[in-house]
Chains A and B, each alone.
Chain A
Amino acid sequence: MSRIGVFICHCGENISATVDCERVAREASLMEGVLYSIDYKYMCSDPGQNLIKEAIKEHNLNGVVVAACSPRMHEPTFRNACAEAGLNPYMCEIANLREHVSWVHEKGDATTQKAIDLVRMLVEKVKNNKPLLPITVPVTRRALVLGGGIGGIQASLDIANAGHQVILVERDPSIGGHMSQLSETFPTLDCSQCILTPRMVEVARHPNITLITYAELESLEGFIGNFKAKIRKKAKSIDEKLCTGCGLCTTKCPNKKIPSEFNEGLGTRTAIYIPFPQAVPNKPVIDKTQCTYYTKGKCRLCEKTCPAQAIRLDQEDEILEFDVGAVVLATGFNVKGTDFFPEYGYGNYQDVITGLQFERLASASGPTLGEIRRPSDGKIPEKIVFVACAGSRDPAKGIEYCSKICCMYIAKHAMLYKHKVHQGNAYVFYMDIRAGGKMYEEFVRRAIEEDDVKYIRGRVSRIYERNGKLIVKGADTLMGGKPIEIDADMVVLATAGVASPKAEELAQKVHVSYDQHNFYAEAHPKLKPVETNTAGIFLAGSCQAPKDIPETVAMASGAASKVIGLFSNSELKRDPSIAVVNRMPPPTYTTCVGCGLCVTACPYQAIQLEDIKDRKGNVVKRAAYVNPGLCQGCGTCVAFCRSKSIDIEGYTSQQIVAEISALLNDE
């Protein structure tokens, strides 16, 4: 039996000026199932709320309709009031008489009639409401951070400093990421390593951080608060406990000509190697694809050399398992290689390099110890050309977006060059200069005005070699498209920032969305920039889109604060307005036939097919199951379900059909 109370708010005069509120209350009292109805000047005020609370108690109401302003305004207020009076808050519905009636229509019968219709609609809905309890999900307070660049480092430290356990997984032998490769950083020109390495050491020493390098995520299952992560720790072929990091093995390794990844191929490394002097952990790994022992079956020189006897050539990959409550993706980005550009020589000219390679040349720890020497013959270039937007903002190359960091690092590169080669000439070909950021525009102006870098607005059409020079052909669009030809000694391409090579694979493993360029998609472009549409998985840094260091750090702290917020309770309470698949007594069990359309339609991967078993444990059916930890309550699945076996609490088919029927049958 419905015992419904209807409460009509005048909202001062906001509603009552055009709607006859007394008549609405009177008509409501005649509706079937309505036991009590009253109008009042301000329903949201304390006396108004008390009116509701007392009526609930006095008349033992089991449903409440408040006809007032938009539910987007005061639904929580009135639901709370109901809860305080002992009525389940989900038995309260709001009819929107202000925004949808009184403020948009003139005073008159028709307007009052509409108000009555809306009240009747909600009365019929409430009759079909049922009490709902918040969903609670236990939370494992341990975070998994994937990627040990500056984003992953910052997120790990923030979470760890808040007192929670962090598992930090890095694919390479050392953490540090792209930032560790940089020479100086804009706009302050402070040395990248100097500000980064203390953080790296802090990570290694932090009691709450478990650092796992040379490792990748194998699989991730579960949902917010309750993930199970499997990590593949690749064999480093050394016993990390015994190894002292003395590096003797790396000096003895006969295989010395391997292009160094850290130096972007401009230097070499050995098969057993520490990627760079400040690496964390500062212990070598053996690159099995290059080591003579693994490829040809003999050598073992490192084993003989090692004073600590730490070499383990028979070591195998290990799979480590962790329960984690949240995941931060901080897997970073990559840059296109010079071979991507047929017009710039397909990567065949040694002295056409990428911006990241220039960083290594300019770095004091780089292959040239910080002297700008061109790769082909080691000569100091007298004329150097920087090409902005190499690939970026070029739909013909499939990269429509701006890589965002290049304008700034080109200015930095040109400056560094001029500081090191005073008599040299630096040219920059650009489309626009995008220097939005604190002290960024000033930095670019300094390059142009103080360091005499020549900025030419135009694109470079071709680069080719002639008599030992690189001929750069472009145009100056500010001079009416005047053709320009520069015989340069070296060219630096600011190649487009692109997603990591394995970004797509990882996204599929953890079920987060990604865009057409394989950058990870945030849950909302403005209001949820660090969340993904999979609850409990967050984003930090350039895996979402190219971004510079300050932005990455800010985003990482943002992601960390979301994780810390999630970990602030041992249980997570969620709105119960979610989808449920019906369950019935045997032999039906459910009317779901397990076709799986809802599984592919769900934007949150919240639905899976599960086996339904009888008492003996035999599988009797395969049907959809909605994970209450993941479902966000959009109801897309409901519209797909042919047998109407899935429904959404708070917006059930029964409720909506009752609403439609009530609205259109006003006699």
Chain B
Amino acid sequence: MDFEPKIVAFVCNWCTYAGADLTGTSRIKYPVNVRIVRFPCTGRIDFMLLLKAFDEGADGIIVSGCHPNDCHYTSGNFHARRRWMIFRNLIDFVGIDIRRVAFSWVSAAEGAKWAEVVTDTVGKIKELGPYSEYHQISKSFDGGAK
């Protein structure tokens, strides 16, 4: 069977969630692999949740919110952007595959862009294959949280 990656998307309620709604309203198709988790704002997206997603078996992660200056809460995305920058550099240094985390700005009007972001990410993760490296260490650990 072909590899069907598991991808979670962490998106803000006001821009990307609404943008993904528009993708639906416009009946634009995209791969079924992505599951959206709704957040009030990208500012809310804790970097620990990204680790959690890999830990639980995600092969890829999409993080998306409002374009700069469009944040419903004016500056949540600006804070998120700084945090992602540092986090990305750090996990790359530790050897986590940052190609598996896609960051994007998708506004409520960009239904088509959302479909592109998902399609491209799914394509890329399919090329990369399952994130076995990480999942192996998750699986080798029994007990604790799960």
Per the CB under 8 Å rule, do A and B touch in the complex? Answer: yes
A664 and B53 in contact (CB under 8 A), knowing A105-B32, A632-B73, A639-B83? yes
Which A residues are CB-close (under 8 A) to B45?
Answer: 639
Whether, in the assembled complex, B38 has its beta carbon less than 8 Å from a beta carbon of chain A, the answer is yes
- Considering the chains assembled together, what is the distance between the CA atoms of A103 and B20 in angstroms? 11
**Do B29 and A106 have beta carbons less than 8 Å apart?**
yes
Which A residues are CB-close (under 8 A) to B76?
Answer: 603, 634-636
Whether, in the assembled complex, A659 has its beta carbon less than 8 Å from a beta carbon of chain B, the answer is yes
**Do A99 and B20 have beta carbons less than 8 Å apart?**
yes
- Considering the chains assembled together, what is the distance between the CA atoms of A633 and B14 in angstroms? 12
**Do A100 and B21 have beta carbons less than 8 Å apart?**
yes
In the complex, residue of chain B having the shortest beta-carbon distance to the beta carbon of A118: B35
Categorize the interface residue count of chain A: 35 or more
Whether, in the assembled complex, B125 has its beta carbon less than 8 Å from a beta carbon of chain A, the answer is no
**Do A96 and B52 have beta carbons less than 8 Å apart?**
no
Which A residues are CB-close (under 8 A) to B120?
Answer: none
Whether, in the assembled complex, A114 has its beta carbon less than 8 Å from a beta carbon of chain B, the answer is yes
The answer, among B32, B44, B49, for a CB contact under 8 Å with A657, is B49
**Do A636 and B24 have beta carbons less than 8 Å apart?**
no
**Do B43 and A104 have beta carbons less than 8 Å apart?**
no
**Do B46 and A653 have beta carbons less than 8 Å apart?**
yes
- Considering the chains assembled together, what is the distance between the CA atoms of A81 and B77 in angstroms? 34
**Do B44 and A636 have beta carbons less than 8 Å apart?**
yes
Whether, in the assembled complex, A581 has its beta carbon less than 8 Å from a beta carbon of chain B, the answer is no
Whether, in the assembled complex, B30 has its beta carbon less than 8 Å from a beta carbon of chain A, the answer is yes
Q: Mark B48-70, 1 if CB is under 8 A from A, else 0.
A: 01001100111000000000000
- Considering the chains assembled together, what is the distance between the CA atoms of A533 and B76 in angstroms? 13
- Considering the chains assembled together, what is the distance between the CA atoms of A117 and B8 in angstroms? 11
Residue with the greatest number of chain B CB neighbours at <10 A, chosen from A523, A577, A663: A663
Which B residues are CB-close (under 8 A) to A603?
Answer: 43, 73-76
Q: Which of B73-123 contact A (CB under 8 A)?
A: 73-76, 79-80, 83, 115
Which B residues are CB-close (under 8 A) to A656?
Answer: 37, 39, 49
Which A residues are CB-close (under 8 A) to B146?
Answer: 661
Whether, in the assembled complex, A477 has its beta carbon less than 8 Å from a beta carbon of chain B, the answer is no
**Do A660 and B49 have beta carbons less than 8 Å apart?**
yes
In the complex, residue of chain A having the shortest beta-carbon distance to the beta carbon of B108: A72
**Do A639 and B74 have beta carbons less than 8 Å apart?**
no
The answer, among B35, B41, B47, B74, for a CB contact under 8 Å with A523, is B74
**Do A99 and B57 have beta carbons less than 8 Å apart?**
no
Q: Mark B2-41, 1 if CB is under 8 A from A, else 0.
A: 0010101000010001101111110111101001111111
CB distance from B87 to the nearest CB of A (A): 11
Q: Mark A566-594, 1 if CB is under 8 A from B, else 0.
A: 00000000000100000000000000000
Q: Could you tell me how many residues of chain B have their Cβ less than 8 Å away from some Cβ of chain A?
A: 45
Which B residues are CB-close (under 8 A) to A562?
Answer: none
Which A residues are CB-close (under 8 A) to B21?
Answer: 70, 72, 96, 99-100
- Considering the chains assembled together, what is the distance between the CA atoms of A104 and B19 in angstroms? 13
Q: Mark A632-654, 1 if CB is under 8 A from B, else 0.
A: 11111011100000001011010
CB distance from A157 to the nearest CB of B (A): 31
**Do B38 and A71 have beta carbons less than 8 Å apart?**
yes
- Considering the chains assembled together, what is the distance between the CA atoms of A191 and B57 in angstroms? 73
CB distance from B36 to the nearest CB of A (A): 6
- Considering the chains assembled together, what is the distance between the CA atoms of A3 and B43 in angstroms? 33
CB distance from B18 to the nearest CB of A (A): 6
Which A residues are CB-close (under 8 A) to B115?
Answer: 104
Which B residues are CB-close (under 8 A) to A118?
Answer: 35
Whether, in the assembled complex, A402 has its beta carbon less than 8 Å from a beta carbon of chain B, the answer is no
Q: Mark A95-111, 1 if CB is under 8 A from B, else 0.
A: 01011101111101011
**Do A634 and B35 have beta carbons less than 8 Å apart?**
no
**Do B29 and A105 have beta carbons less than 8 Å apart?**
yes
CB distance from A526 to the nearest CB of B (A): 10
**Do A661 and B40 have beta carbons less than 8 Å apart?**
no
- Considering the chains assembled together, what is the distance between the CA atoms of A70 and B4 in angstroms? 25
Q: Mark A480-503, 1 if CB is under 8 A from B, else 0.
A: 000000000000000000000000
Q: Which of A41-73 contact B (CB under 8 A)?
A: 70-72
Q: Which of A511-542 contact B (CB under 8 A)?
A: 513, 521, 523-524, 533
Which B residues are CB-close (under 8 A) to A633?
Answer: 40
CB distance from A9 to the nearest CB of B (A): 14
Which A residues are CB-close (under 8 A) to B37?
Answer: 121, 656, 659-660, 663
Residue with the greatest number of chain A CB neighbours at <10 A, chosen from B25, B46, B47, B146: B46
**Do B73 and A664 have beta carbons less than 8 Å apart?**
no
**Do B74 and A72 have beta carbons less than 8 Å apart?**
no
**Do A72 and B18 have beta carbons less than 8 Å apart?**
yes
**Do B38 and A664 have beta carbons less than 8 Å apart?**
no
Q: Which of A287-333 contact B (CB under 8 A)?
A: none
**Do B40 and A665 have beta carbons less than 8 Å apart?**
no
Whether, in the assembled complex, A448 has its beta carbon less than 8 Å from a beta carbon of chain B, the answer is no
- Considering the chains assembled together, what is the distance between the CA atoms of A70 and B47 in angstroms? 26
**Do B73 and A103 have beta carbons less than 8 Å apart?**
no
- Given A108-B32, A638-B44, A660-B37, 18 further pairs, Cβ under 8 A: A71-B38, A96-B21, A98-B24, A100-B24, A118-B35, A121-B37, A513-B74, A521-B74, A533-B74, A577-B40, A634-B44, A636-B43, A636-B75, A657-B49, A657-B52, A660-B49, A664-B57, A664-B58
Query: Measuring CB to CB, which residues of chain B are less than 8 angstroms from any residue of chain A?
Result: 4, 6, 8, 13, 17-18, 20-25, 27-30, 32, 35-41, 43-47, 49, 52-53, 56-58, 72-76, 79-80, 83, 115, 146
Can you pick out 24 interface pairs between chain A and chain B where the beta carbons lie within 8 Å of each other?
A96-B36, A99-B24, A100-B21, A103-B25, A103-B27, A104-B23, A104-B27, A105-B30, A105-B32, A106-B29, A118-B35, A603-B74, A603-B75, A638-B46, A639-B46, A639-B79, A639-B80, A639-B83, A656-B39, A659-B37, A663-B35, A664-B57, A665-B56, A665-B57
Query: Measuring CB to CB, which residues of chain A are less than 8 angstroms from any residue of chain B?
Result: 70-72, 96, 98-100, 102-106, 108, 110-111, 114, 117-118, 121, 513, 521, 523-524, 533, 577, 601, 603-604, 632-636, 638-640, 648, 650-651, 653, 656-657, 659-661, 663-665
3 A-B pairs with least C-beta separation? A99-B24, A635-B44, A636-B43
